[in-house]
């Protein structure tokens, strides 16, 4: 307990880092996943812009990256991180790797939720003279908004989980704090303090997500 008090400022720094990493990943990976998911849905046979080649290639790419365990992906993605964000270590590299991995994961969540939209509604929009892009942005996505919010909440929790391995490439956050100052220094109280904060973060996120989804679905 005394040790935890000594680490007070580092602990809150780690909490802030986790929040920053998760927020940046949710934004970047969220956008990437949305674009990929929408493309997966619209290019499928019977979608509003069917395109066999694009659909098959996207499916292969997503299926290639999704099964890679994140702790391995983060190492494998180091060269790409150096290319894109200029460094293979630290929080920028972690955010890059997380965003890429989250994009592929979220793309499937988005695709699944878009499938639940009644194709008849899209047909009605097209029949009124709306183009494909407008139909996607003003009908397809709004009609699926409630489930999409729940899907993103699920993704957010997964991102918090993945962000905990940031320490592997020198990133910060609660995961690396717990391993460095708790596990390796035989301080279970420190480890558990990090765990409690993560649990609290996830609870708040899930609560907010449920509220938002309910508002979107008006139930």
Partner 1 sequence: MTPTPSTPSGDPLIRLADVSRVFPARSRQGAAVTALDHVDLDVRAGEVLGVVGYSGAGKSTLLRLVNALDRPTSGTVTVAGREVSSLSERALREVRRDIGMIFQQFNLFSSRTVWGNIAYPLTVAGVPKERHRERISELLHFVGLADKAHAHVEQLSGGQKQRVGIARALATDPRILLADEPTSALDPQTTGEVLALLRRVNEELGITIVLISHEMEVVRSLAHRVAVMEAGRVVELGDTYDVFAAPQHPATQRFVSTLVEKGPEPRALGRLRERHPGRMVTLSFRDGAASPADVFAAFIERGVTFELVHGGVEDVHGRTFGHLTFALTGDPAAVADAVSYVATLVEVSAPGTADGPDHRTEAS
Considering only 123, 161, 189, 192, the residue that binds partner 1 (CB under 8 A) is: 123
Exactly one of 13, 84, 126, 158 binds partner 1 (CB under 8 A); that residue is 126
Among 138, 185, 203, 210, binds partner 1 (CB under 8 A): 138
CB of 118 to partner 1, least distance (A): 7
| Site stretch for partner 1 (CB under 8 A), options 56-64, 131-139, 149-157, 180-188 | 131-139
Please, what is the minimum distance in Å from the beta carbon of residue 146 to partner 1? 9
The angle, 0 to 180 degrees and rounded to 10, between the axes of the packed helices 52-65 and 90-115 is 130
Neighbours of 68 (CB within 10 A): 14
Is residue 46 near partner 1 by the rule CB under 8 A? no
CB of 27 to partner 1, least distance (A): 23
Residue 139 found at the interface with partner 1 (CB under 8 A):
yes
The whole-angstrom separation of Cα 48 and Cα 58 is 16
Applying CB under 8 A, does 214 fall inside the site for partner 1? Answer: no
Considering only residues 51, 134, 154, 202, which one is a binding residue for partner 1 as defined by CB under 8 A? 134
Smallest gap from Cβ 147 to partner 1, in A, equals 12
Contacting partner 1 (CB under 8 A), which of 125, 136, 153, 191?
125
Q: What is the 3-state secondary structure (H, E, C) of the chain?
A: CHHHHHCHHHHHHHHHHHHHHHHHHHHHHHHHHHHHHHHHHHCCCCCCCCCHHHHHHHHHHHHHHCCCCHHHHHHHCHHHHHHHHCCCCHHHHHHHHHHHHHHHHHHHHHHHHHHCCCHHHHHHHHHCCCCHHHHHHHHHHHHCHHHHHHHHHHHHHHHHHHHHHHHHHCCCCHHHHHHHHHHCCCCHHHHHHHHHHHHHHHHHHHHHHHHHHHHHHCC
Total interface residues for partner 1 by CB under 8 A: 20
* 86 vs 142, beta carbon nearer partner 1: 142
Query: Which of 8, 67, 120, 186 touches partner 1 (CB under 8 A)?
Result: 120
* Contacts with partner 1, residue ranges (CB under 8 A): 118, 120-121, 123-132, 134, 138-139, 142-143, 145, 218
């Amino acid at each position: 307990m005394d040790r935890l008090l000594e680490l007070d400022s580092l602990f809150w720094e780690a909490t802030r880092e986790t929040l920053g990493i998760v927020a940046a990943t949710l934004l970047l990976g969220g956008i990437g996943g949305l674009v990929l998911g929408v493309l997966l849905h619209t290019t499928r046979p019977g979608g509003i812009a069917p395109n066999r080649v694009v659909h098959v290639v996207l499916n292969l790419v997503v299926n290639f990256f999704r099964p890679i365990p994140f702790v391995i992906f983060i190492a494998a993605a180091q060269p790409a991180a150096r290319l894109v964000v200029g460094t293979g270590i630290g929080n920028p590299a972690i955010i890059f790797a997380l965003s890429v991995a989250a994009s592929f994961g979220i793309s499937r969540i988005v695709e699944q939720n878009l499938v639940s939209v009644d194709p008849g509604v899209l047909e009605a929009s097209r029949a009124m003279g709306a183009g494909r892009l407008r139909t996607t942005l003003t009908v397809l996505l709004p009609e699926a908004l409630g489930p999409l919010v729940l899907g993103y909440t699920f993704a957010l929790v997964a991102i918090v989980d993945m962000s905990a391995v940031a320490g592997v490439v020198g990133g910060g956050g609660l995961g690396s704090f717990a391993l460095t100052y708790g596990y390796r220094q035989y301080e279970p109280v420190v480890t558990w303090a990090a765990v409690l904060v993560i649990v609290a973060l996830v609870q708040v996120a899930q609560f907010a997500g449920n509220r938002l989804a309910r508002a979107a679905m008006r139930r």
